[in-house]
Amino acid sequence: MSPIRRLGRVGYDLIKVGKHTFTHLLIGLVYAWILRELWQQLSTWYITLSALASILPDLDHGLYFAAYGRKEWYALEVRKLLKQGQIRTLVYFMKTNHKYNTGLATHNIYFLGAFLVFALLSFTHDSKTGVVIFGAIVLHLLFDAIDDVWVLGRLNENWKRLRRRPSSPPAHLDIIEK
The span from the CA of 52 to the CA of 59, in Å, is: 11
User: Which of 34, 17, 25 lies closest to 128, judged by CA?
Assistant: 34
* Residue 19 pLDDT class (50, 70, 90 cuts): confident
Average pLDDT, integer, range 113-120: 97
Sign (positive/negative) of CA torsion 89, 94, 100, 104?
positive
Check residue 2 and give its pLDDT: 63
Q: What is the pLDDT of residues 145-158, one digit of tens each?
A: 998 898 888 888 88
**pLDDT at residue 167 above 80?**
no
Average pLDDT, integer, range 129-143: 96
Residue 99, classed as helix, strand or coil, is helix
The span from the CA of 134 to the CA of 112, in Å, is: 10
The span from the CA of 52 to the CA of 158, in Å, is: 24
Q: What is the CA radius of gyration of the chain?
A: 18
Check residue 3 and give its pLDDT: 60
